[in-house]
Amino acid sequence: MKPSVVTTEPNGHVCSDCAVRGSAVCSSLDAAELREFEHLGRRVHFSSGETVFSEEDITTSFYNVLEGVMRLYKLLPDGRRQIVGFALPGDFLGMNLSGRHNFSADAIGMVTVCQFAKAPFGRFIEDRPQLLRRINELAIRELSQARDHMVLLGRRSADEKVASFLLGWRERLLALKGPSDTVPLPMSRQDIADYLGLTIETVSRTFTKLERHGTIEIIHGGISLLDPARVEALAAA
Amino acid sequence: MKPSVVTTEPNGHVCSDCAVRGSAVCSSLDAAELREFEHLGRRVHFSSGETVFSEEDITTSFYNVLEGVMRLYKLLPDGRRQIVGFALPGDFLGMNLSGRHNFSADAIGMVTVCQFAKAPFGRFIEDRPQLLRRINELAIRELSQARDHMVLLGRRSADEKVASFLLGWRERLLALKGPSDTVPLPMSRQDIADYLGLTIETVSRTFTKLERHGTIEIIHGGISLLDPARVEALAAA
DNA sequence: AAACGCAATTGACCCAGATCAATCCTGGCG
DNA sequence: CGCCAGGATTGATCTGGGTCAATTGCGTTT
């Protein structure tokens, strides 16, 4: 199911000045290793809404997000959807034990990834424990986030969910774009609802309520935290 | 907060005939490595309800569960609890990036763990990529389970949650105790509720409902699946 | 065997959030 | 510029599961 709009650059890039050089898996490699590594990955672009891989697909590649945002989700047979996370630049996707992806991933807006064929990547890792350690670190970080999200899904009210989401999302963007009380939300209300285990109406109503109380301002493509302290109180962190 | 009832065996064990030798982290070590590894861990016993470690505690040890069941959970400031998983023999606990545990763990019934001091264990791993790879595998498996659980918490009804839980728990015990339609439930109803994001009343009512329909039978310390197919249908797997 | 303690069950009622159903933007296009 | 489509908002109503409150069942102590 390779989408037609995907474009691949034959080779117009170098890892050494990649945007995610410092934070992604490749941060564990030295300059010499990086030159070798460069041949393994190729940049691939996806446009908004395109699927990068689907749950249950055989895993043929790993992906390193370079630019943009992706939604990672699982579907129930009847169509209910749970977004298990949003991937941002520096995130590494595709690791699994079964040989099949255990969630689907698609682009929210334009996305650039660094794609690695599974086998050569596996071979490259083989004698580079540093890289393995880095991948393990990323997995452990994900796991910690996943557990936090379980608490949110299982034990928080709608207001708390929305407030936690805004703070969490701002926090993640902090590392990428620097601190700001203006939080861009590239994903749809439906995406937010499916991430928080709510309906789109509840998300919308909660935003409106927060805005009426002067806590946030809903702006085009995002929200602005007028009273961050209030939001933090609501999140019951 | 070392509990008084904890007992440590000076050395009455050998790794080579450990119950979890084949499935735990140590499955990645050969006989020679195992002998060296043996000196790193010590068996520690916990009795029912004792806390092995708490969220936010500085991580001083890693733990390999040998016997028994543990509940892993996070608390909100106001006391709401979310159980993020149950640990069984073979599970490895304590990995994190922050240097602090990101959840609490306590014993459900008698528990035996193999405890490793963080620093020596870290040193041992250093030049044994096989062990690191094994730890990574366990982390990836956990991550996959965590994502499945997010779907359950965010998008399933109470009936589906309970049915999925029974099947999932049976599935996990399968590897340890062999196949059976009688599912022991060592944890309390409250534990089940906090795992599923429900209240104790809802869990109890759902069990009763299933029993009235002849789908399960509630027995002392567990349940019996009278109609496993029916339970699977309810789980909407 | 009576009495206690604690988990589990059951019942009655309530409410947060879902569902159903209109609008209301807003941006793209003829 | 006016029209259209898809996302977002808002309103009205419903309900699954929570809350509150007994009651039951059992294992332990005396």
Give the start-to-end residue ranges of the domains of chain B: 7-128, 156-235
Question: What distance in Å separates the CA atoms of residue B188 and residue B192, rounded to the nearest whole number?
Answer: 6
Is A104 exposed, middle or buried (CB count within 10 Å of its CB: 0-12, 13-18, 19+)?
Answer: buried
Model confidence at A2: pLDDT above 50:
no
Model confidence at B39: pLDDT above 60:
yes
Closest nucleotide to A190 by C1' from CA: D7
Average pLDDT of A190-219? 98
Chain A partners of B142 at a C-beta cutoff of 8 Å?
143
Chain C footprint bases within 7 A of protein beta carbons? 7-12, 16-21, 27
Instruction: Look at B1 and B183; give whichever has higher pLDDT.
Output: B183
pLDDT number for residue B5: 44
Model confidence at A142: pLDDT above 80:
yes
Q: Could you tell me which chain B residue has the CA closest to the CA of A147?
A: B84
Average pLDDT of A194-216? 98
Give the distance from residue A67's alpha carbon to the nearest chain B alpha carbon, in angstroms: 24
pLDDT number for residue B11: 53
A146 → closest Cβ in B77, B80, B147: B147
Q: Near strand D (CB < 7 A), which residues?
A: A 188-190, 200-201, 203-205, 207-208, 218; B 157-159, 197-199, 201-202, 220
Average pLDDT of B93-109? 98
3.40.50.2000, 3.40.50.300, 3.40.1160.10, 2.60.120.10: CATH of A7-145: 2.60.120.10
Angle of CA points A101, A175, B132, to nearest 5°: 45
Mapped to the 3 state alphabet, what secondary structure does A21-68 carry?
CCCCHHHHCCHHHHHHHHCCEEEEEECCCCEEECCCCECCEEEEEEEE
Chain B partners of A129 at a C-beta cutoff of 8 Å?
129, 132
CATH number of B7-128: 2.60.120.10
Model confidence at B127: pLDDT above 50:
yes
* Per-residue pLDDT reduced to its tens digit, B182-214: 999 999 999 999 999 999 999 999 999 999 999
Band (pLDDT 50/70/90 cuts) for residue A39 is very high
B146 → closest Cβ in A77, A98, A150: A150
Tell me if chain A has a CB within 8 Å of the CB of B233.
Answer: no
Model confidence at B105: pLDDT above 90:
yes
Structural contact between residues A218 and A103, judged by C-beta atoms closer than 8 angstroms: no
Amino acid at site B24: A
Band (pLDDT 50/70/90 cuts) for residue A1 is very low
Structural contact between residues B147 and A146, judged by C-beta atoms closer than 8 angstroms: yes
* Per-residue pLDDT reduced to its tens digit, A27-38: 999 999 999 998
Tell me if chain A has a CB within 8 Å of the CB of B76.
Answer: yes
| Residue A176, token pair as written in the block | 């990428």
Read off the DSSP letter of residue A117. Answer: E
Model confidence at A3: pLDDT above 50:
no
Q: In this complex, how many residue pairs, one in chain A and one in chain B, have their CB atoms less than 8 Å apart? A: 110
Chain A partners of B141 at a C-beta cutoff of 8 Å?
97
Average pLDDT of B36-54? 95
pLDDT number for residue A16: 87
Residue B205 CB neighbour total at 10 angstroms:
14
* Per-residue pLDDT reduced to its tens digit, A78-107: 999 999 999 999 999 999 999 999 999 999
Tell me if chain B has a CB within 8 Å of the CB of A79.
Answer: no
Average pLDDT of A144-163? 98
Asked if B136's CB is within 8 angstroms of A136's CB, the reply is yes
In 3D space, the residue among A210, A208, A217 whose CA is nearest the CA of residue A232 turns out to be: A210
Band (pLDDT 50/70/90 cuts) for residue A77 is very high
Interface of B with A in 115-174 (CB under 8 A): 129, 132-133, 135-137, 139-144, 146-151, 153-156
Return the minimum-mean-pLDDT range out of A13-22, A53-62, A205-214: A13-22
Structural contact between residues B23 and B87, judged by C-beta atoms closer than 8 angstroms: no
Band (pLDDT 50/70/90 cuts) for residue A72 is very high
Instruction: Look at B79 and B4; give whichever has higher pLDDT.
Output: B79
Tell me if chain A has a CB within 8 Å of the CB of B236.
Answer: yes
Chain D footprint bases within 7 A of protein beta carbons? 7-12, 16-21, 27
Q: What is the mean pLDDT of chain A?
A: 94
Band (pLDDT 50/70/90 cuts) for residue A11 is low
Query: What percent of chain B shows pLDDT beyond 70?
Result: 95
1.10.3210.10, 3.30.450.90, 3.40.50.720, 1.10.10.10: CATH of A156-235: 1.10.10.10
Query: What percent of chain B shows pLDDT beyond 90?
Result: 92
Q: What is the mean pLDDT of chain B?
A: 94
Q: Near strand C (CB < 7 A), which residues?
A: A 157-159, 197-199, 201-202, 220; B 188-190, 200-201, 203-205, 207-208, 218
